[in-house]
């Protein structure tokens, strides 16, 4: 049987903090996609092909093989002239929902980096258009594609931890000063929120996805400290009551005075705990057989090393292509991102109003 042709891919948005890495990822998948065109509404972004701000761990510019591609400032022209099958949507949060809606209306499948909107209410109508048109939407929630996280979810699904009592997630990242205070991710009008929406969305999604539960209510405290005039939070603690009755805490902060991340995630059930720190594995804590003490069982699930946005990004793109061909949803779907954004919206409302907030129904 003849192999299917690579799908035609457009990169929509050239100023995103992660766009250079996603562009490299597309080049790592020539059997699945062919990048045919670029788009940004700003002609200067097209001229430079290098975001003003980029994650320091990623490439500083769009890779060479893509720099000679046709580039359009008008999204309608991109759709009509270059006929993409799918698009990488790398636009600022304030612009992304409109582009998602227009591309979806034209039948273009989508991989959107998170959070893709300033709120769930902004993203929901665009995703509804995608559903109505049979458009598959994958997201940049790449933990869902990591071997350790997938193995952890499989273990939790067996019921080995028992009923969930509590969970905790911590994400510490480099400070605002390290990232640059003028970085668009700190613009309250364009981004809509701070570290919770930019990085904490990974923690919230992982909590819902691994536990298999829904968030019911939320209470949160946020801070803007050490950066005069900062318009979004650089530290936040969120308490979440889950549908099974347990309680989770999410704490995120731009608090490391150099490049890098520190993460921690744990689910604690009546029969055992699962703990995930930095690295590519997790530990299960459970009673010793016939003994009074806890025993630690280590599970290692290393992923291959990949360039671009890493192995998670490569798997996300390949999974989207497979989902398009198989008529199914990707593993990291738009619905999952929307559920996480509803929790984040409730957290920000709790900060503003100083009270517990019920999470909006999906």
| pLDDT of the residue at 33 | 98
Distance CA 229, CA 251 (A): 22
User: Crossing angle, helix 120-132 and helix 96-105, to 10 degrees?
Assistant: 10
Arithmetic mean of pLDDT over the chain: 96
Residue 111, SS3 per DSSP: strand
b/e burial code for range 102-121 (CB count within 10 A of at least 16 → b): bbbebebbbbbbbbbbbbbe
User: Residue holding tokens 């700190």?
Assistant: 186
| pLDDT of the residue at 362 | 72
| pLDDT of the residue at 289 | 85
Q: Assign 290 a pLDDT band (cuts: 50, 70, 90).
A: confident
| pLDDT of the residue at 279 | 83
Which residues 6+ apart lie within 8 Å of 323 measured at CB?
136, 138, 329, 330
Q: What digits encode the pLDDT tens for the residues 166-185?
A: 999 999 999 999 999 999 99
| pLDDT of the residue at 57 | 87
Give the mean pLDDT of 226-245: 97
127 pLDDT higher than 90: yes
Q: What digits encode the pLDDT tens for the residues 84-124?
A: 999 999 999 999 999 999 999 999 999 999 999 999 999 99
25 pLDDT higher than 90: yes
| pLDDT of the residue at 2 | 73
Give the mean pLDDT of 63-67: 97
* Phi, psi (rounded to 5 degrees) for 3: -65, 140
Of the CA atoms within 13 Å of residue 80, those in its CB half-sphere come to: 5
Q: What digits encode the pLDDT tens for the residues 198-220?
A: 999 999 999 999 999 999 999 99
1 pLDDT higher than 70: no
Q: Assign 188 a pLDDT band (cuts: 50, 70, 90).
A: very high
User: Which of 200, 194, 144 lies closest to 170 in space, CA to CA?
Assistant: 200
Give the mean pLDDT of 8-27: 97
List the strands of the sheet with 33-39, edge to edge. Answer: 71-72, 33-39, 7-12, 86-89, 109-112, 137-139
3 pLDDT higher than 90: no
What are 188's two structure tokens?
Answer: 């309250």
Domains contained in the chain, CATH given: 7-142+310-330 (3.40.50.720), 143-307+340-358 (3.30.360.10)
* Phi, psi (rounded to 5 degrees) for 215: -85, 135
- CA distance readout (Å), 34 to 9, 182, 333, 338: 6, 34, 22, 28
Give the mean pLDDT of 10-17: 97
Q: What digits encode the pLDDT tens for the residues 296-320?
A: 999 999 999 999 999 999 999 999 9
What does the DSSP 8-state code read for residue 361? P
| pLDDT of the residue at 165 | 98
| pLDDT of the residue at 175 | 97
Residue 72, SS3 per DSSP: strand
What does the DSSP 8-state code read for residue 224? -
| pLDDT of the residue at 337 | 98
Residue 254's DSSP bridge partners are 173
User: Crossing angle, helix 334-353 and helix 201-211, to 10 degrees?
Assistant: 120
């Amino acid at each position: 049987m003849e192999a299917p042709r690579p799908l035609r891919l457009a990169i929509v948005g050239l100023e995103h903090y992660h766009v250079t890495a996603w562009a490299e990822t597309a080049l790592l998948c020539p059997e699945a996609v062919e990048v045919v065109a670029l788009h940004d509404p700003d002609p200067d972004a097209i001229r430079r092909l290098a975001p003003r701000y980029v994650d320091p761990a990623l490439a500083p510019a769009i890779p060479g093989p893509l720099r000679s591609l046709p580039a359009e400032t008008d999204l309608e022209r991109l759709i009509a002239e270059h006929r993409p099958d799918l698009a990488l949507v790398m636009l600022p949060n304030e612009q992304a929902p409109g582009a998602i809606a227009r591309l979806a209306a034209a039948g273009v499948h989508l991989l959107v980096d998170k959070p893709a909107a300033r709120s769930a209410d902004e993203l929901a109508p665009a995703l509804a258009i995608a559903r109505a048109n049979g458009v598959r939407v994958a997201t940049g929630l790449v933990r869902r594609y990591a071997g350790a996280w997938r193995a952890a979810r499989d273990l939790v699904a067996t019921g080995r931890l028992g009923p969930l009592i509590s969970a905790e997630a911590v994400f510490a990242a480099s400070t605002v000063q390290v990232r640059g205070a003028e970085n668009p991710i700190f613009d309250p009008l364009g981004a809509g929120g701070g570290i919770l929406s930019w990085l904490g969305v990974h923690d919230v999604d992982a909590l819902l996805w691994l536990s298999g539960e829904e968030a019911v209510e939320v209470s949160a405290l946020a801070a803007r400290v050490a950066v005069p005039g900062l318009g979004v939070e650089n530290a936040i603690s969120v308490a979440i009551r889950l549908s099974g009755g347990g309680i989770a805490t999410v704490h995120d902060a731009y608090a490391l005075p150099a490049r890098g991340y520190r993460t921690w995630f744990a689910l604690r059930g009546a029969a055992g705990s699962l703990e995930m720190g930095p690295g590519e594995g997790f530990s299960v804590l459970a009673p010793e057989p016939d003994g009074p003490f806890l025993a630690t069982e280590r599970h290692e699930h290393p992923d291959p090393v990949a360039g671009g946005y890493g192995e998670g990004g490569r798997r996300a793109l390949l999974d989207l292509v497979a989902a398009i061909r198989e008529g199914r949803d990707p593993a990291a779907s738009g619905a999952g991102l929307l559920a996480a954004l509803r929790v984040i919206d409730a957290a920000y409302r709790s900060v503003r109003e100083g009270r517990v907030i019920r999470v909006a129904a999906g």
